Structure 1
Amino acid sequence: MDQRRAIVVTPSGSRMLQQLCKHWSHKFEVAFTPAHGEISLPMGRCEMDATDDSLTVVVSAVDPGDAPRLQKVVEEHLRRFAFREDLTFDWTDAQGVPVAPEPPEDQPHG
């Protein structure tokens, strides 16, 4: 499994965690409390932990090639839910090495 992690500074971590879990609960297996959420997606898992000032997001892709896509899908959804905040996602791999962000879809890859 390819795992990636980001700690996002936000006072709205619990609200965003719950909103994402509720959003996906009609499609995927979801379990959550105000402080912790788990979502089983077709390409892997998303786990989130909220504190008063941050949201830790961990995505685990079954296929390593899906890790960038899974990371991007989760990040895009959280950004939509936090439209009033400018969130920063500094993703790292399982060893803590920074992971370069994926280019936007409307930009050429290269």
Structure 2
Amino acid sequence: MKLLSKHWSHRFPVELSSEQATIYFGDSGCRLTPRNGALNIEVWGEKNALPQLQDIVLDHLQRFARRGETLRASWSRDE
């Protein structure tokens, strides 16, 4: 969470605390919250852009993962 926030803070507004990080991509964004050994990821924006935003966030998280570690994501939607 911290590494990704620092990485994106060079291009986007970021709010970072010990409890969560929020990254703003114009009209969309994501919130990262560590919980019970996992990272809860919330993304928002235009409905048709959400799958791409999810892929971008997961791809960047994978770049910061431990070598050889593959991250898994399980996405759900609030309607």
TM range (shorter): 0.7 to 0.9
Gaps of 5+ in 2: none
Q: Which residue pairs with 1:19 in the alignment?
A: 3
Q: Offset of 1:39 from its aligned partner?
A: 0.3
Q: Which residue pairs with 1:66 in the alignment?
A: 49
Distance 1:32 1:90 in 2: 23
Q: Which has the higher contact order (CA 8 A, sep 6+)?
A: 1
Report Cα offsets for 1:64-86 as digits up to 9, x if no partner: 11111111100100011114322
Kindly indicate whether the alpha-carbon contact (under 8 Å) linking 1:28 and 1:40 is maintained by their aligned counterparts in 2.
yes
1:75 aligns with 2:58: yes
How is 1:15-94 mapped onto 2 (pairs within 5 angstroms)?
17-61=1-45, 63-84=46-67, 85-94=69-78
Q: Offset of 1:51 from its aligned partner?
A: 3.1
Query: Any idea what SS the aligned residue of 1:50 has?
Result: strand
Q: Output the aligned Cα RMSD.
A: 1.5
Gaps of 5+ in 1: 1-16, 96-110
Equivalenced residue count is 78
Report Cα offsets for 1:31-80 as digits up to 9, x if no partner: 1123200000135010010135111000001x211111111100100011
Same amino acid, percent of matched pairs:
32
* Structure (1 or 2) with the larger CA radius of gyration: 1
